[in-house]
Amino acid sequence: MSELASTPWQPSAGAAQPVRIASRKSELALAQTHWVMEQLQAHHPGLPLELHTLSTQGDIILDVALAKIGDKGLFTKELEVSLLNGSSDLAVHSLKDLPTRLPEGLVLGAITQREDPLDALVLREELRGYQLATLPAGTVIGTSSLRRLAQLRHAFPHLHFKDVRGNLNTRLAKLDRGEYDGLILAVAGLKRLGQEQRIHEVLDPSVSLYAVGQGSLGIECRQGDERILELIRPLADAEATARCLAERAFLRALEGGCQVPIGVHSQVRGEELHLTGMVADLEGRRLIRDTQTGSTADPEAVGVALAEKLKQQGADEILQAIFAQARR
């Protein structure tokens, strides 16, 4: 059964009742939420909207690596609580932050059109003549993602990788102060904040598979809330939905999370969905990668089949070792 909510079409009712929208307080989260609000207004002129901003655990704890905090709703739990207690009607998430198993009573109501999901290299000015592959040994690259870390350690063992926390502008400021020589960031976030001019190199998927759901927004709401489901229906994008459902099913079948070295790359060609997935150990010494093709009509089956392929090649062994290390 798909995790995506569905509801039969019904005439709009109670359009004058404000829709209360929960969002994180970060600049990027607000930019994404305002985009959703603009889309809702475009599709439902005159619809009253209320913005409720919340701080999540991931926003508050900035002096600890993400992997050490855990990833069970790190950037989503407080928004989900507001849905469950009725203080909000829908929550806007970066889909990559939304766990693949939602709390009882909540559903993924819509997956929006996808911004470029690839990763990007941002360098300080003195190094802009280099590419990632040509950077000198010992160059300090900042990333908070174990997925990026494992893949880049695998491809570029001569580079030095250092954890970086904070919102996008905070990270760019640390780069400009010389705390890092370069950063690996999501193309989507840079574009949404008007910082695409900082992109030095977009990383090819052969080097860095991206995070599950990266580049898409997930709109979460209460199960059975037909009014809200109807209102957000026009914001759903069919291709992004197929791709992201396959990716999330892949991650769920592996029982992984946001802070595990699991990456994906998906494409839709006609009615075929092509999904590539990767699992690596933390050091990037062992990396398993494969591809699965299936129908866009059943994207989650594609993700599950790919997960089984990787399990047969040793993905379970890699992930169990990571989970055991995390429990120590």
pTM: 0.89
Are 294 and 305 in contact, with CB atoms under 8 Å apart?
A: yes
Please, which residues have CB within 8 angstroms of residue 129's CB and are 6 or more apart in sequence?
Answer: none
* Distances from the Cα of 292 to the Cα of 58, 127, 170, angstroms: 33, 38, 38
CATH 3.30.160.40 in the chain: give the residue spans.
237-328
Residue 56 pLDDT? 72
Which residue spans of the chain are classified as CATH 3.40.190.10?
1-113+217-236, 119-202
Q: What is the pLDDT along the chain (328 residues), one digit of tens a residue?
A: 567 765 543 434 444 689 999 999 999 999 999 999 999 999 999 999 999 999 776 555 544 444 544 555 667 899 999 999 999 999 999 999 999 999 999 999 999 999 999 999 999 999 989 999 999 999 999 998 999 999 999 999 999 999 998 889 999 999 999 999 999 999 999 999 999 999 999 999 999 999 999 999 999 999 999 999 999 999 999 999 999 999 999 999 998 765 689 999 999 999 999 999 999 999 999 999 999 999 999 999 999 999 999 999 999 999 999 887 766 6
Which of 114, 102, 91, 93 has the alpha carbon at shortest distance from 244? 114
pLDDT at 73: 63
CB 176 within 8 A of CB 157: no
- The candidate with the shortest Cα–Cα distance to 215, out of 300, 99, 94, is 94
Which entry of 71, 89, 97, 281 is annotated as an active-site residue? 97
The superfamily in CATH containing domain 119-202 is Periplasmic binding protein-like II (3.40.190.10)
Query: What's the confidence (pLDDT) of residue 11?
Result: 39
How many other β-carbons are positioned within 10 Å of the β-carbon of residue 37? 18
CATH fold, domain 237-328, is Double Stranded RNA Binding Domain (3.30.160)
Q: Going by CATH, does the domain composed of 1-113+217-236 fall within 3.40.640.10? A: no
To the query of whether residue 97 is one of the catalytic residues in this protein, the response is: yes
Q: Residue 292 class from Cβ within 10 Å (0-12 exposed, 13-18 middle, 19+ buried)?
A: buried
